[in-house]
Structure 1
Amino acid sequence: MFPTIDKVKTGVRLRRIMDLRGVRPRDVQEYLGLECVQSVYRWLDGVSMPSVDNLYAISKFLKVSMDLIVCGNADTEDNRQIVWETEQQRRICTYYKKISDGRVA
């Protein structure tokens, strides 16, 4: 089987990065000049993917590489790490991941 983009995982990853950056779907819609916010929600829900141009613009807006946003069927969570702007962001993400995994009471 050849590698393909996993739309659902990519949407989850995009939502996580947006949450960490404090960016709302409407912010992305306005930045890209989209007519409606529904396109952004379809990306986040894994229904569709942004165009390559929009994906590039989103990566610049969120200050991450496109490679970090896109998840493929051959990717694992451990093979990529987000580069944090501050130590505080890294700690918050680590804590959030532990909460999500149910490892923090």
Structure 2
Amino acid sequence: MNMIPAIDMRKTGINISVLRKNAGLSVKDLQNIFGFGTPQAIYKWQHGSALPTIDNLVILAAVLGVSMDEIIVIDKSVDMARTA
């Protein structure tokens, strides 16, 4: 059984929400920083139904004052055979 790391989208979303709150930012604040017309993308990130693009992840890390590794939660127990 080969194990490969995978991003845990739900836990990453929770992490984004916690980090945002710890930074004293609202969803509206992030919406304005990213120049999004609506907050939907941020809500999707927080709910784990979507991930930020790499470009947005770089900005998010800078805005939150953390590294990208501190935002993304990795699940190292994913069986490669299950993902094929």
Deviation at 1:49, TM superposition (A): 0.3
Task: Give identity over the alignment, percent.
Answer: 33
Quick check: 1:13 aligned with 2:10? Answer: no
Q: Give the TM-score normalised by the residue count of structure 2.
A: 0.84
Deviation at 1:34, TM superposition (A): 1.2
Q: In structure 2, how many angstroms separate the alpha carbons of the residues matched to 1:12 and 1:36?
A: 20
Q: After the TM superposition, which parts of structure 1 deviate over 6 Å for at least 4 consecutive aligned residues?
A: none
Aligned residues: 75
Q: Which has the higher contact order (CA 8 A, sep 6+)?
A: 2
Q: Which runs of 5+ in 1 are unaligned?
A: 76-105
Deviation at 1:74, TM superposition (A): 2.2
In the alignment, which residue of structure 2 is the partner of 1:78? none
Say what the alpha-carbon RMSD is for the aligned residues. 1.3
- Kindly provide the amino acid, as one letter, of the partner of residue 41 in structure 1: Y
Normalized per residue, the structure richer in strand is 2
Q: Which runs of 5+ in 2 are unaligned?
A: 78-84
